[in-house]
Structure formats: structure tokens, C-alpha cells
Copies of this chain bind each other. A is one copy, B any other.
Amino acid sequence: MARRGRTSGRGVRRSQRISSEVQQLPWQTVRTPFAPICPLSEDQLEQIHLASLTILQEQGVVFLLDDARKLLAEAGQSVCEQRKLVQFDPEFIVSAVAKAPSSFQLHARNPKHNLLVGDNAMNFCSVGSAPNCSDLDHGRRTGNRADYQNLLRLGQSLNIMHMYTGYPVEPVDLPAETRHLDCIYDFITLSDKVYTIYSLGRQRNLDALEMTRIARGISQEQFEQEPSVCTVINANSPLTMDEPMLRGIIEMSSHNQVVILTPFTLAGAMAPVTLAGALAQQNAEALAGIAFTQTVRAGSPVVYGGFTSNVDMKSGAPAFGTPEYMLAAQVGGQLARRYGLPYRSSNVNAANSVDAQAAYESVFALWGAINGHCNMLMHGLGWLEGGLCASYEKMILDADLLQMIATYLQGLEVNEDTLALDAIREVGSGGHFFGTAHTQARYESAFYAPLLSDWRNFESWQEAGSPKAHEKANLLAKQILKDYCEPPLNPGIKEELLAYIARRKQNTDA
């Protein structure tokens, strides 16, 4: 295992021991210094924007929650109660969306893990909401709490993972009514990073908010000033927002917590088969939801989510990391920037094992997301099978991919020292640089040291048993779990959380 650090052009980022066996990059804010790739011209972008406003005005969006329609009617929007339909005034949409912050601080219970969401910062998140999980040792299985906890531990240990966006795997062995209490308890106790909760009814949202406040040990007043927890709100594409999602917006936004508003627009299924149409629909749904967050509470933090991809037209199966996905991810970034909103994209693939397909679809998705300037990369670590499986090995592989991207995004430094004219003079024609003072001074930390890549020659590699990348990832995941240490938590807070859970479970049982 590589044990070297790295001195970057933009500041020192020495590698740190991840476990007794593994070195990784330190916790860091990843920022992109590069211009985004913009597949659309300004004119084309405007066409998408205007098409979205037309959809919202002429056709409208079904808002299934009565309270939500009431709020929008009060805000002057045209509501048809019979069809539960809201038709939006374009000026209302534009002015409501403009109230959302372009960036905000997201507070973890450990302040060292606070996050900037927006600007040129990129936050890498764990896989969320997979119903299954797998590793090479035990194969594929239905989600359960033991695996849920292990995946949380992996996420806590991997510095390149900034936050959790959903349960990495769904622990279906926990009773559905109280699952959120145990899961949030695990989030808080096994990790000190930011997490994301589900909007599945008002009380669950309130539980999540209260437990997060307790975990941070702060007052309600401070909590409402400091975004500390996220929820993902999916539009029920096409053009529907369901009750739990709208209730989630009301509870989260009214408490100034983070809504990640993401339409689920698969071109050819829930959206038009043409990318421009799918993106116009994505944008309409996103704008409707975002405008609603600002109607609930102006200035509340919200993230523009893009998840447009295509389906396999033979089977209807969703496809990810495709050329269409890359384009949609980058246009999504253009749209978010047009509205001055933080942007969410994803690291996705549709492979069934951690093979070449998983890797190339993932890196293509990352190419789309990173060049699209996403501020929040959901499913950044561990996603397999189009989201149906959280993979231990994929989580390690993704950590390596994301560390590489973080290193790439540091760029390179050009100055007298790095131009190395003295070293070039010293070596002369036909010499070798290894022995120079210039090389020796930088030897340890010159280059990114990968977690997985095997650079031995074929013969040495073969002698070692021809290990594949996913096999090395498997060993690494086990080593990290073996060396995992729970982050410190004030015993009083732990007690308070347990008391809260006990009280709430009693009420649920009653």
C-alpha cells in the first residue's frame, strides 16, 4: 500500500494514515479552479429556461398536499383544487428562486466537518437509499442495520467523503415506524459528518430536526440560523409533487434546513425522449419546488438537483454514465448557475459488479458532474446497479477516483522552483532526474499515491496472484473497518438522544 503524501501547488495536503495499512488524503474542501464545460449557448440556455416557465404557467404542477397549495394560492398562484394543480406566474417563479442563497454553510456536529455548499466548492457524498448491499466476501444481500452501520463507518473513515446523502443502504430489519430514530442515532454516533434524512411524514422530519439539534448541542434559535441537515426532495416526474415530499419541504425549509430538490427525469420514461425536453421538464419541476421552498421561508437553503439520464429503450432500464448523462449533468450545471443556486449531480453507473463498466460509467458521470461544476456530488461513493446496491468495494474505488479528482483540481504551480531549470541544467542531455536534489527534496510527496492502482509490471503482478482492482478494494474496506474508531461524542448528548428515542418509540408503540 502506498504511503506517500503530496505537496500540492495550492497548499500542502499531506496524506494521512487512514488505518494501520492505508494512507489517504486529509479532509479538505475541494474547489474547482477550472471553467465549467457549457454544452449550451446562452441563447439555448434561455430557450430551456423559457420552455420551463411555459410548462409551469400553461400546464402547471400537481401539488398533492393541501397545505402546499394553500401557501401557493396565498402567494398569488393559480390553484385548481379539483385537479390539485398549481399554475405558476413566471415572474413569481423568477423572483422566488432569486431569494434562495447562492451558497451556505452546512454545519456538522464536528465543526471541522462543516461544509461550504456553493461557489466553486464540491462536496462528495456517500451512496444513498440502496435497498441492497454487497461485498466480495458475502455477496449481495438485502439491506440491514449491520451493513448500514459498516457503510457509515467506512464513510466516516474516508476523508474524501464529505457527507451522507441518505442511508447508504436501507436497514429493512429495523421496524419501518421507528427506523429513522435508530438510523439517525447511528449517523450521529458512528460519524460526525453531515447527513441527510428522509421526508416520510411530518413527525419523522421533526424527529430528525430535533435529534440533529441535540447532537450539535445548540439552541433551537441557533439551529434555525445554521443549516445542519439535508433532505432530498424528488419531484414525482412528470410534474407532480407528492404529499411527503411537500411536507418535507415545509418542515425543512421552515426550520432553515437544506432541501436538495431533484426531479427524476429519465428521458424516454418520465420525461421526453429528447434531452432538451427532458431538461426543460427537469428545470420546470426544480423551479416549482425551489420556488415553493422560498414561499415557505425566503432565504432558506436549497440545492438545484439534476438527475436527467436516459433509459435503455429496449428494456426501460435506466442507464447512467452515458453520453446523454454527461451532457445533461453539464447543462444542469448551466441552469443552476443561471439561477445562482448550488448544484447537485451524481456519480452513477448501471453495472452489476465492480468491473470495467462500473469504472467507466462512473468516471464518465464524474466527468459530467465535475465539468458541470456540481457543488454536491450525491452517490459519490459506493453506488452500483443504478442505485439498487451499495457496494463496499465500489466505495473504496470511488474514494480513489474522488481523491484523484481532488488532486487534479489542485492544478499545478508554475514558479522558478517548479520550472526546475537548475535541475534540468544539472542533469543535462541523456541523464536521469532521480538522483537530483530537486527530486530528492520532493520524492515523498510529489505525486498522488493511489489506494488501488497496481503499477507493478505484469510479471510481478502475476506472481502476486493477478489481483484485480475490486479485490484490492475488498481488502482495504476490511482493513478500514478493522481500524475504525468511533468519533467522540459528549456523553450528555448521547444520553439526551437515547432518552428522546425511548420517548418517541413509546409514543409510536402506543
Q: Which residues of chain A have a CB within 8 Å of any CB of chain B?
A: 2, 4, 33-35, 37-40, 44, 47-48, 51, 54-55, 58-59, 61-62, 85, 132, 140, 236, 238-240, 267-277, 280-281, 310-319, 322-324, 326-327, 331, 350-364, 367, 371, 385-386, 388-389, 397, 400-401, 404-405, 407-408, 410-415, 417-421, 423-425, 427-434, 436, 438-439, 442-444, 446-448, 450, 452-458, 461-462, 466, 468-470
Contact = CB atoms under 8 A, between A and B. Distances in A.
A413 B443 CA distance: 49
Contacts of A367: 363, 367
B468 A411 contact: no
22 contacts: A40-B412, A44-B414, A47-B415, A48-B414, A54-B421, A59-B424, A59-B425, A238-B427, A268-B446, A273-B439, A274-B438, A276-B415, A277-B419, A312-B455, A322-B404, A323-B404, A324-B448, A350-B453, A355-B355, A356-B470, A357-B452, A363-B363
Nearest to A55: B424
Contact of A469 (B319, B322, B357): B357
A438 B355 CA distance: 36
A268 B352 contact: no
Query: What 6 pairs across the A-B complex have the smallest Cβ distances?
Result: A277-B420, A272-B420, A359-B359, A363-B363, A323-B407, A323-B408
A52 to B, nearest CB: 10
A20 B235 CA distance: 43
A140 B267 CA distance: 42
B418 A466 contact: no
Given A55-B424, A356-B355, A419-B280, A274 B324 contact: no
Contacts of A461: 352
B466 A353 contact: yes
A323 B409 CA distance: 8
A364 to B, nearest CB: 6
Contacts of A397: 356, 360
Which one of A312, A351, A355, A415 has the highest number of Cβ atoms from chain B below 10 Å of its Cβ?
A355
B273 A442 contact: yes
A445 to B, nearest CB: 9
B276 A468 contact: no
A455 B314 CA distance: 10
A1 to B, nearest CB: 11
Contact of A420 (B39, B269, B280, B410): B280
A201 to B, nearest CB: 21
A360 to B, nearest CB: 4
A446 B408 contact: no
A418 B272 CA distance: 8
B414 A47 contact: yes
B432 A269 contact: yes
A442 B271 CA distance: 13
Contacts of A318: 455
B442 A274 contact: yes
Contacts of A273: 420, 433, 438-439, 442-443, 446
A240 B358 CA distance: 42
A83 B269 CA distance: 71
Contact of A354 (B356, B361, B448): B356
Nearest to A32: B37
Nearest to A367: B367
A355 B468 contact: yes
Contacts of A401: 360
Nearest to A58: B425
Nearest to A6: B323
A326 B425 CA distance: 27
